[in-house]
Chain A
Amino acid sequence: MLPVLDRPLVQFGLAAATVLILPLTMRSGTLASEILIYGLAVAACNLLLGYTGLLSFGQGIFFGLGSYVAGLSLVRAGLPAPVMLLIALALGALVAAAVGWVSIRRQGVYFVMLTLAFSQMFYFLAYTFSGLTGGDNGLLDIPRPRLGGAPLGDAWTYYAYVAVLFLALFAALQRVALSTFGRTLLAIRDNESRAGAIGYPVRAFKVAAFAISGAVTAFAGALHAMLIGVAPLSNIDYHTSETLLIMTIIGGSANLFAPLLGAGAYLLAADALSAIWPRWLLLLGLLLIVITLFLQRGLWGLIERAVALVTRAPPPDDPTPDRPVVATPEAGR
């Protein structure tokens, strides 16, 4: 039986509620936009981590790639933003499929090392080809998209733009997760060799998961570049991969909404703490240790417990690995 909190409509409702609550509770539209943008990237990250069981350190590649696509298409080629976003999606899928195609040839630690190697490689590629990427400086003066002739200069106006796209892609990711494809990914995550034995070409599924994840991540990277007006080298740095993974783990990898909690918590904490103490990342390390040791379902696990307390249903066992459950619509019978 699918827990109430994991039902697709509830998940989408939570995402929509987040989109509405942020403007009501936050002062900075930039920070709010950032939460949604990273929220999209971590949801895509979780398609690999939580749904397919792939710990990829390569997500930064696609995020950075999206930023560069924004810079190059908008500034150099003068393309309109919607076209640029489509290019980011396509290119993200293509590069992710290539990175995935090579990386999934190995499993476990070796897979992780391969994605890490790719991450470093793309970073230095971006650094070296400064004619294309601006090298250390990044690509500057990236304009905001225009709606009705005027650019979305105001932070909250851009937030609205991001919010609509966020919800659209979130719904698309949900659709993917609920599809035959998404449900087969869960099987591969659970028991890869059996999935192969009952007929699934496991590699093709993993490459496709990479492509979808990469497309959405690049899309988020492009939105990010338009937010801050720059496509910085740091977006393709392996630290971005790391940050996305940490956000996912803080939030929880049980479903698509959980990582958004992680992105929000991380960015809000960074915003608050960095003003007080430049070494705030130390505290983040502590938080990560606590979550890894005692709260393996992440912040989402806390919500599950709270809901369980209210409804007096037993919460899911904490020690069980934090994983998405299959939606079985016929489950109610």
Chain B
Amino acid sequence: MSAPILATENLGVRYGSFVALQDVTLRIRENSVHSIIGPNGAGKTTLFHALTGRIAPSAGRISLGGQDITRTADHERVRLGLARSFQVTSLFPTLSVRENLRLAAQGKTPWQALAPWRRAEANRPALAMAEAMLERLDLARVALRAAGELSHGQQRRLEVGMAMAAAPKVILLDEPTSGMGIDDIAAMRALIRDLGRDHTVLFIEHNMGIVMNISDTVTVMRAGRVLVEGPPAQVRDDPEVRRAYLGNMITGDLTQAPTAKAPEAKAPEAKAPEAKAPEAKAPEA
């Protein structure tokens, strides 16, 4: 296994006396699609907040590409190549879709943007990135609309696109399909799989269909700890996982999988689901 691009060492987060995250040690391999699942309250979003620097961990260390970023400010981490999308859509609602993307692309060189005399158009790479993202997200036709006026599916795509626009090494997606309709989910799945080709993707997801289909590695969390980690097939069959999920948000493949004891041996990596379900970019509604 190559050196991890993103890693945590015994990461812990407390809110007062409540332990939200404890002893979380993660190794995210470069250019892999790594998903994090777990029942509500398992600490998944808290983990993201700690990874992106929104909250300070109370214990442990985080490193990005070998560099310790435990105490690095959130906007600094973006410059180092870490970008995220949010579970609750968080856009610039009165600004145009193109402007949202341009701002996200420009966030890579934030101090340059501080110049009050520099025209926005002078940053050509940011403009080009915004254009490229409009195409990739299938949002070109609504480029001039205010982001707040888009449909839910479009807003979710823009949400993910804003993380992509920073051209990060590692992209963190917090429930990218939350609240989406079936058509939109297909488009999002295609987008995430596409991302996995040239990015490292770490994502939180409740839709097991997506998780089991496109992940290289799945980490299951419960009550602030890592329960199980491994390739999708192995995780699916793990009795601990089945117990953690019993009565909880049973979606997709997880429940349909045969009950079998988790094999001790690691499932071959090559089981990556390239062959499954043809992905078509869903046309805009």
Interface residues of A (CB under 8 A from B): 1, 175-176, 178-184, 186-187, 190-191, 193-202, 204-205, 208, 212, 320-321, 323, 325-326, 328-331
Contacts and interface: CB of A to CB of B under 8 A. Distances in A.
Contacts of B123: 180
A202 B111 CA distance: 11
A217 B114 CA distance: 21
Given A197-B54, A328-B98, 20 more contacts: A179-B115, A179-B117, A179-B119, A181-B113, A181-B114, A181-B115, A183-B120, A184-B106, A186-B94, A187-B103, A190-B95, A194-B90, A194-B162, A195-B103, A196-B75, A198-B162, A212-B116, A325-B94, A326-B96, A330-B121
B90 A191 contact: yes
A199 B94 contact: no
B54 A179 contact: no
A193 B74 CA distance: 10
Size bracket, chain B contacts: 35 or more
20 contacts: A1-B144, A175-B117, A176-B117, A179-B118, A180-B123, A181-B113, A181-B116, A183-B103, A190-B91, A190-B95, A193-B54, A194-B91, A195-B103, A196-B75, A197-B78, A199-B78, A199-B108, A328-B96, A328-B144, A330-B98
A178 B118 CA distance: 9
A198 B95 contact: no
Contacts of B79: 199
Interface in B44-100: 52, 54, 73-75, 78-79, 83-84, 86, 90-96, 98-99
A240 B162 CA distance: 41
Contacts of B120: 178-180, 183
Most buried by A among B113, B119, B162, B166: B113
A109 B212 CA distance: 47
Interface of B: 52, 54, 73-75, 78-79, 83-84, 86, 90-96, 98-99, 103-104, 106-108, 110-123, 144, 162, 165-166
B51 to A, nearest CB: 12
Contacts of B117: 175-176, 179
Contacts of B86: 194, 197
A304 to B, nearest CB: 16
A208 to B, nearest CB: 6
Contact of A201 (B110, B162, B165): B110
Most buried by B among A178, A197, A199, A204: A199
A204 B114 contact: yes
Contacts of A176: 116-117
Contacts of A330: 98, 121
B107 A200 contact: yes
Most buried by B among A178, A186, A193, A194: A194
B113 to A, nearest CB: 4
A329 B110 CA distance: 22
A200 B73 CA distance: 11
A198 B119 contact: no
Given A180-B118, A191-B90, A201 B99 contact: no
Contact of B116 (A1, A179, A202, A329): A179
A187 B165 CA distance: 15
Nearest to A175: B117
B119 A180 contact: yes
A142 to B, nearest CB: 30
A182 B78 contact: no
Contacts of A183: 99, 103, 120
Nearest to A324: B94
Contact of A326 (B90, B95, B107): B95
A193 B90 contact: yes
A205 B114 contact: yes
A200 B96 contact: no
Nearest to A190: B92
Contacts of A201: 73, 75, 110-111
A330 to B, nearest CB: 8
B84 A326 contact: no
Query: Nearest 8 pairs between A and B by C-beta?
Result: A199-B107, A199-B78, A198-B107, A190-B92, A181-B116, A180-B113, A176-B116, A194-B90
A186 B96 CA distance: 11
A212 B74 CA distance: 26
Most buried by A among B73, B95, B104: B95
A187 B107 CA distance: 11
Contacts of B106: 180, 184
Contacts of B110: 199-201
A144 to B, nearest CB: 31
Contacts of A196: 74-75
A328 B114 CA distance: 18
B118 A181 contact: yes
Nearest to A211: B116
